[in-house]
């Protein structure tokens, strides 16, 4: 009875307390965020290179005159890793290359991490919120089976490789033999059962696969984007037409991306895949991926800020050529520029061209990188025929221009396997049909197989096709009569204009002057022109349809101080320097 009386009294007292006292909320859980923990050393760690690296990786290092292994290949110290594991919620990545781990931790845990022996730094991942859920569309209904390819599609399937010199490479016996290409993408659903890739699986050319998000070798799930990308390297139509230039190469397939989302975990997966590709002997990495406004600002596209840009640069130092799509933000007023890792200096960034005009597609992202470096480096068709579950279809995006150029690079490297990777990079740029002209929409243009002929006389210097004529305060560009005559064969019609990627604050007057052309009028081939400042930065550029010989007049006072007017027409490039 005494216990019941005391309980009744206690409940009565509680009833008189304010509601806030009766229902005190539980303390909020400490926020958990992702952190990058870098260690000071790898003391005591060693590596038996022959046991760790695939034979193809060892051969690549010998060709590239690299050591069998260096400290970036050594494992992270187990004691450092154990301490981080004991203090944090989870370790999501262990990177040998950077001697670092990525982990999820609370602020209190981070404070303790910074005091651990051997920890050099603890940095939070960049804190730019992802877009709202509305920006992520709901999964669409399963697509209808693709329709049979029309005649125009079959013609495009042939042209997407023909313009890159497929016939010349084939005649030389170069289709990527001896090269190993890693493809990083969102998924390869249907690749292993699609007839377009049967020739790869018959000869066991897909040598390794790994899903770095689910941590399983099964990559044949998720999206089909990787399937489409792979087809622009090695896919085959039923009539035996190859959709890419490297059907005889070997492949490593890595799933690093989640369809419709951009999470920091995907950058970690990209780095993990790059280390895996290195270990498994990749010569080339094709990455038709990019990260932009969902986590970065345009000024951070400098090749140094993002984890994937730094990982790509290190992959190149390991002797691998990294080829990356420029991105599809060219017509997005809120971004327009390339993403990352395409911003890294040593990454071969590929823009998209219209197959009908061979000029920049509106959606293809513009350069330069925030560091001022030339981007994109090269370009290829941004509209291509690709393999999809159930058949083939026409697809758009720089995602497909990138593997077309990666296949070109494989054929070029096949000719001279001991060529250092950055020398190959330079020679690929020099193979562009616009070289030495470039702009921030086309780069150096379509690469040409003729630039990688195994033997033969040196090519003749380009024949001048125009002249600069200066009078008073104006410089004009005049097409030479012989360049305005129709040759014996018909050239493709090129009649579109690419908008300037970056304009000066004052619009530059530029006008055409009517003048009768001598001889038979040539088809409207494009004339590329630009203004460069004293540092070489392109401050204005355009592509003009040439329908008369006096094509351009520019007021000299409006040339940048110490700058140049540079023009390219029919394979010839020349510059006029400001007085």
pLDDT in tens, the chain (579 residues): 443 444 343 334 334 444 444 455 545 566 888 899 999 999 999 999 999 999 999 999 999 999 999 999 999 999 999 999 999 978 999 999 999 999 999 999 999 999 999 999 999 876 554 433 322 333 344 567 788 899 999 999 999 999 999 999 999 999 999 999 999 999 999 999 999 999 999 999 999 999 999 999 999 988 999 999 999 999 999 999 999 999 999 999 999 988 655 567 899 999 999 999 999 999 999 999 999 988 889 999 999 999 999 999 999 999 999 999 999 999 999 899 999 999 999 999 999 999 999 999 999 999 999 988 899 999 999 999 999 999 999 999 999 999 999 999 999 999 999 999 999 999 999 999 999 999 999 999 999 999 998 776 777 889 999 999 998 899 999 999 988 764 433 333 332 333 333 322 222 333 333 333 333 343 468 999 999 999 999 999 999 999 889 999 999 988 988 999 999 999 999 999 987
| Distance set, CA 211 to CA 139, 253, 266, 516, 549 (Å) | 21, 8, 11, 63, 57
**418 part of the active site:** no
Which residue among 95, 194, 225, 231 is the active-site one? 225
Q: Give residue 230's pLDDT.
A: 98
Q: Give residue 371's pLDDT.
A: 84
Show the tokens assigned to 573.
């490039």
For 88-164, where are the E strands, in sequence order? 90-95, 100-105, 119-124
Read off the DSSP letter of residue 360: B
**Whole-number Å distance between alpha carbons of 291 and 256:** 13
Are 344 and 425 spatial neighbours (Cβ–Cβ below 8 Å)?
Answer: no
| Distance set, CA 355 to CA 189, 243, 348, 497 (Å) | 27, 14, 21, 14
Helix (H, G, I), strand (E, B) or coil at 250: strand
**Whole-number Å distance between alpha carbons of 404 and 389:** 20
Q: How many residues does the chain have?
A: 579
Q: Give residue 138's pLDDT.
A: 33
CA 300 to chain centre: 16
State the helix-helix crossing angle for 264-279 and 307-317, rounded to 10 degrees: 10
**343 part of the active site:** no
Which residue among 185, 278, 283, 439 is the active-site one? 185
**225 part of the active site:** yes
Please name the residues in contact with 343: beta carbons below 8 A apart, sequence gap of 6 or more.
301, 302, 303, 306, 309, 349, 369, 370, 371, 375
Of the chain, the end-to-end C-alpha distance in Å amounts to 109
Are 275 and 97 spatial neighbours (Cβ–Cβ below 8 Å)?
Answer: yes
Which residue among 287, 288, 399, 402 is the active-site one? 399
Q: Give residue 19's pLDDT.
A: 43
Closest CA to 570 of 532, 540, 542, 528: 528
Query: What pTM was computed for the model?
Result: 0.87
């Amino acid at each position: 009875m005494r216990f019941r009386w005391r309980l009744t009294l206690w409940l009565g007292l509680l009833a008189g307390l304010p509601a806030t006292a009766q229902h005190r909320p539980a303390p909020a859980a400490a926020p958990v965020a992702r952190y990058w923990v870098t260690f000071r050393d790898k003391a005591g760690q060693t590596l038996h290179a022959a046991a760790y690296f695939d034979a193809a990786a060892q051969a690549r290092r010998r060709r590239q005159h690299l050591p069998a292994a260096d400290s970036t290949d050594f494992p992270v110290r187990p004691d450092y890793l154990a301490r981080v594991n004991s203090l944090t919620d989870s370790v999501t990545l262990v990177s040998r290359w950077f001697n670092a781990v990525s982990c999820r931790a609370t602020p209190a845990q981070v404070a303790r991490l910074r005091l651990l022996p051997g920890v050099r730094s603890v940095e939070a991942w960049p804190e730019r919120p992802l877009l709202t859920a509305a920006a992520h569309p709901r999964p669409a209904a399963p697509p209808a089976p693709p329709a049979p390819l029309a005649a125009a599609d079959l013609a495009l399937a042939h042209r997407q490789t023909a313009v890159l010199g497929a016939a010349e490479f084939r005649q030389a016996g170069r289709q990527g033999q001896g090269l190993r290409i890693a493809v990083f993408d969102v998924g390869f659903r249907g690749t292993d059962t699609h007839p377009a890739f049967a020739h790869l699986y018959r000869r066991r050319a897909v040598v390794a696969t790994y899903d770095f998000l689910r941590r399983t070798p099964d990559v044949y799930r998720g999206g089909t984007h990787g399937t489409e990308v792979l087809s622009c390297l090695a896919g085959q139509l039923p009539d035996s037409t190859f959709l890419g230039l490297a059907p005889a190469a070997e492949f490593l397939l890595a799933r690093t991306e989640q369809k419709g989302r951009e999470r920091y975990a995907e950058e970690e997966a990209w780095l993990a895949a790059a280390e895996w590709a290195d270990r498994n002997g990749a010569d080339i990495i094709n990455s038709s991926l990019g990260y932009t406004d969902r986590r970065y600002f345009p000024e951070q596209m400098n090749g140094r800020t993002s984890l994937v840009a730094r990982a790509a640069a290190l992959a190149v130092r390991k002797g691998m050529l990294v080829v990356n799509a420029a991105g599809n933000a060219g017509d997005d007023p809120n971004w327009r520029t390339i993403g990352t890792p395409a911003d890294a200096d040593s990454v071969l960034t590929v823009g998209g061209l219209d197959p009908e005009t061979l000029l920049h597609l509106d959606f293809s992202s513009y350069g330069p990188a925030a560091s001022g470096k030339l981007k994109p480096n090269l370009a290829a068709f941004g509209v291509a025929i690709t393999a999809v579950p159930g058949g083939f279809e026409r697809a758009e995006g720089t995602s497909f221009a990138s593997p077309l150029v990666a296949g070109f690079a494989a054929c070029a490297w096949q000719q001279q396997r001991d060529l250092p990777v950055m020398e190959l990079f330079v020679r690929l740029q020099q193979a562009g049909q616009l070289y030495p002209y470039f702009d921030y929409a086309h780069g150096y243009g379509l690469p040409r197989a003729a630039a990688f002929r195994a033997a033969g006389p040196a090519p003749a210097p380009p024949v001048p096709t125009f002249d600069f004529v200066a009078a008073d305060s104006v410089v004009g560009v005049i097409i030479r009569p012989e360049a305005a005559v129709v040759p014996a064969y018909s050239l493709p019609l090129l009649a579109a204009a690419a908008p300037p990627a970056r304009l000066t604050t004052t619009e530059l007057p530029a006008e055409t002057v009517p003048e009768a052309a001598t001889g038979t009028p040539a088809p409207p081939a494009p004339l590329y022109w630009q203004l460069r400042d004293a540092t070489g930065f392109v401050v204005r550029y355009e592509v003009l349809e040439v329908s008369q010989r006096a094509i351009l007049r520019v007021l000299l006072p409006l040339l940048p101080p110490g700058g140049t007017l540079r023009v390219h027409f029919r394979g010839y490039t020349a510059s006029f320097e400001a007085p």
